[in-house]
Homo-oligomer: A and B are copies of this chain.
Amino acid sequence: MGKPLIECVPNFSEGRRPEVIEAIVAPFKNRPGVYLFDYRADEDHNRLVVSLVGHPAEIQESLLEAAKVARDHIDMNTHQGAHPRIGAVDVVPFTPIANITMEECVELARSFGKRYVEETGIPVYYYEDAALIPERKRLEVVRKGQYEVLKDEARTVPARRPDVGEAALHPTAGGTVIGARKFLVAFNVNLDTDNLDVAKEIAKHVRSSSGGFCHVKGIGVALEERGLVQVSMNLVDYEKNALYRVLETIRMEAKRYGVSVVETEVYGMVPAGAVLDSAAYYLQIAGFDPQQIIELRLLQMMGEAAQ
């Protein structure tokens, strides 16, 4: 078994000052065990989204360094931006990629949260799978009213008290939401019709909120320039709701309207398992082991070699 590999996508409340953005990101660069896939600052949101993959210990060290930079340069009392937020380091989700279970990611989030409070002085709320209070599983519940409301309620309303740290937000850096969640796959299916109702109806049948697959979120969207419609989805558990199963259900539903699938899109990054699982289904491969893939085996061996 190779070294554990996680994804972490910390969100910082700074999308406008290039020198601050670069200072926050610096601890993620040229650091063994931490791979900086991407970072994007949005001026309207006044927010920085960083994509990291790597080994848990090294990712935690780099996060602590980056958090101290954000804490010292961002004042939530003057921060403005279109995206909801409660702190300078707003959200830190840990996601299992390889050689680590979700349970271990939950433990990781919770132990990191304790150390984080000690070293940064910023109080922590746990969310998603790491939530200690069931309501806090949902990020929007934790962030309700954002920094402006929470800075008072954290002191005065017991139900809004941080999970770790003082019953008060940090005077300038606010609070941080730390958690563990599964990898989210963005999967879109384009249909050869300009009838938006078809996409909306099909989206209803595949998404959990209207009784479809338990781990699919989805809406119907018009692609007006192309004269097509799209079922735009997030698969929040691609192991339970595999790409092929969701796609075949959409193909089957579309037939009802004489409509077919023009193409699909996998947007952004995706773990190998999400795609290999569908390949094994369609190719009917019996007993397929991802370790038969040269590159995955190599990665595993490199992890072992590094241990």
By a beta-carbon cutoff of 8 Å, the part of chain A in contact with chain B is 5, 7, 32, 35, 37, 53, 97-98, 190, 243-244, 247, 261-266, 268-272, 275-276, 278-279, 282-288, 292-299, 301-302, 305
Contacts and interface: CB of A to CB of B under 8 A. Distances in A.
Contacts of A35: 298, 301-302
Given A261-B284, A269-B293, 17 more contacts: A7-B294, A32-B305, A35-B301, A37-B301, A53-B294, A53-B297, A53-B298, A265-B286, A270-B292, A270-B293, A270-B294, A272-B293, A272-B295, A278-B282, A279-B282, A299-B302, A302-B302
A293 B7 CA distance: 13
A9 B278 CA distance: 30
Oligomeric state, in number of copies?
A: 2
A70 B21 CA distance: 57
Contact of A283 (B244, B295, B297): B244
A270 B295 CA distance: 9
Contacts of A270: 292-294
A298 B269 CA distance: 11
B285 A263 contact: yes
Contacts of A264: 283-286
